Chains A and B, each alone.
Chain A
Amino acid sequence: MSIAITTQIICFTVLSLVILIGALGVVLLESIVYSAFLLGGVFMSVAGLYLLLNASFVAAAQVLVYVGAVNVLIIFAIMLVNKKEDLKPINDIKSRRIISTSICLTLLSLLIRVDLTNVWSLSNPQNSIGEESTIRIGEHLFSDYLLPFEVASVLLLMAMIGAIVLARRDVMSKDISTGLPVDQELIEKSSEPLLTNKN
């Protein structure tokens, strides 16, 4: 066995162990902050797996999008609304756990079935793209995947506008949750510094 293959096997084992243990930690740990940070570790290891598969662009995009944006946003949200209060005990926790476990097991069996039935070996290993993958991804995004690509961007725009409407209460005259008219005095004028209002 050559050194390159040995290194690859060691990397793969370490990465898969990190992914498995990290993912279990995300689900099972009590502290939500630890879960969020472990999720970042899992995303990073997935990027490592992409690197092992010679997909460096996908790996970098995974780090940029999932670690740099999604995970940072999750941690941000946790830290901004970290109230020290005990959660209410859920009544039928046992049946809920049974249901979620069975759903997870069903999904797992589906994945295992896909793994066993699919033909994974490439018909022509010489055809692998490697470094050219960036160009190929670009070509596909602007030809046969153009419509899904554009629809996804419209979806993101809609989510963004929705978030802005929810965050800026002065857009609407009535409060969404209570139905009372919005007190315009309470709305902070973000462009003016707070100190100038005091004199």
Chain B
Amino acid sequence: MEYGLDLEYSFNEFLKGFGLSSEIAHIIWLPLPMLLVLVAAVVGVLVTVWLERKISAAAQQRIGPEYAGALGVLQPIADGLKLLVKEDIIPAKADGILFTAGPILVLVPVILSWLIVPFGQNLLISNVGIGIFLWIALSSIQPIGLLMSGYASNNKYSLLGGLRAAAQSISYEIPLALSVLAIVLMTNSLSTIDIVNQQSGAGILSWNIWRQPVGFIVFWICALAECERLPFDLPEAEEELVAGYQTEYAGMKFALFYLGSYINLILSALLVSILYLGGWGFPIPVELIAKFLNLPINAPFIQVFTASIGIVMTVLKAYLLVFIAILLRWTTPRVRIDQLLDLGWKFLLPISLANLLITAGLKLALPQFFGG
């Protein structure tokens, strides 16, 4: 299965053509994917913010942003510029160092997690062996940042919001990890590349959603709860807590929280599409199309075609999920904190445990369908 574009390899070969050593070529290569991920994440956020404004407007029978660019597409950029030029305020009684470190600790792990998101066979930053486990580990750092900013703001709403965020994040991480574990059990690998390849056999029929319907729903609920999206946005429930841990923040520091939550939403959608919806896979396998067109699978045309289809499919699936998340946000009421914790501990945890057990049993009973 070692086909597809390998940009790093071609780039290094290209630089070596100019007489550079492979080490220097590697150093020149290193910042490029990082930059690409930052740009991709920020552009993704801009698109999501625009979608959120437009869809919320449609759900409430408004028009939404209209004058900034065609259909208001420039509105998110205007929002971003406004936040950039706003005054950076640290409240007088707040703890300056922790107040500044909090938003950074929230944003950095989310961006780091993009390391493992594949857009094609070789189109990811690093195929680390621990793959999806890295994301679970990194997402567990976030509550510390939330607690930190909640504490440092020296405001009771902020502290309550921070505590709620941490409690929510911890309780939903367990069912999340358990449903990922069921997928890993079927794949025999933690690597996101292997997880997608294992689903690429028969197009849409071999996607994990058919084999893990319960895991899919549990993962999606937990991902929404981790992103603090409605119906689980208790940490920033504006009617009760002003804005939770963000209450005292303004300007760029607020923008970091804002960016962090939207990047996290896109990341979760991408991971759902990788884990359950076949990742970069086209609903009809590309091998079949190549056979139909009588072209060898390694032809340059087919390779470019596969890579672009891969990126388009990944982004399409992710944005479909983002659309569902936005629709949920504007049509469902918020749950209460006791309902939230009940749902996490008394419903999702046993269900995901049972799902894991049944998956293990099915893997033994039907190894050809559930990974041998």
Residues of A participating in the B interface, judged by any CB pair closer than 8 Å: 2-3, 33, 37, 40, 44, 56-57, 60-61, 63-64, 67-69, 71-72, 75-76, 79-80, 130-132, 134, 190-191, 193
Contacts and interface: CB of A to CB of B under 8 A. Distances in A.
A131 B129 CA distance: 6
B46 interface: no
B82 interface: no
A56 B140 contact: no
Looking at chain B, what size class is its interface with the partner chain? Answer: 20 to 34
B166 A68 contact: no
B140 A64 contact: yes
A63 B173 CA distance: 14
Nearest to B170: A72
Contacts of A56: 128-130, 134
B148 A69 contact: no
B134 A60 contact: yes
Contacts of B134: 56, 60
Contact of B137 (A2, A64, A75, A130): A64
A2 B167 CA distance: 46
B78 interface: no
A193 B159 CA distance: 23
Contacts of A44: 141
Contacts of A193: 336, 338
Contact of A68 (B140, B148, B159): B140
Contacts of B342: 191
A63 B137 contact: yes
Residue among A63, A80, A132 facing the most chain B CB atoms (10 A cut-off): A63
B136 A72 contact: no
Contact of A61 (B27, B137, B143, B147): B137
B204 interface: no
17 contacts: A37-B98, A37-B144, A37-B148, A56-B128, A60-B137, A61-B137, A64-B137, A67-B144, A68-B137, A68-B170, A72-B140, A72-B166, A76-B163, A79-B163, A131-B129, A134-B129, A134-B130
Interface in B182-200: 190
Interface string B78-102: 0000000000000000000010000
Contact of B23 (A2, A64, A72, A132): A2
B166 A76 contact: yes
Contacts of B150: 79
B336 A64 contact: no
| The 6 nearest A-B residue pairs measured at CB | A68-B140, A131-B129, A60-B137, A63-B137, A64-B137, A56-B130
Nearest to A44: B141
A66 to B, nearest CB: 10
Contacts of A33: 98, 151
A33 B147 CA distance: 11
A72 B133 contact: no
Interface in B148-183: 148, 150-151, 159, 162-163, 166-167, 170, 173
Given A3-B23, A56-B130, A79-B159, 18 more contacts: A33-B151, A56-B128, A57-B129, A63-B140, A68-B137, A68-B140, A69-B140, A69-B170, A72-B140, A72-B143, A72-B144, A72-B170, A76-B163, A80-B163, A134-B130, A134-B190, A190-B338, A193-B336
A67 B141 contact: yes
Contacts of B162: 79
A79 B336 CA distance: 22
A96 to B, nearest CB: 30
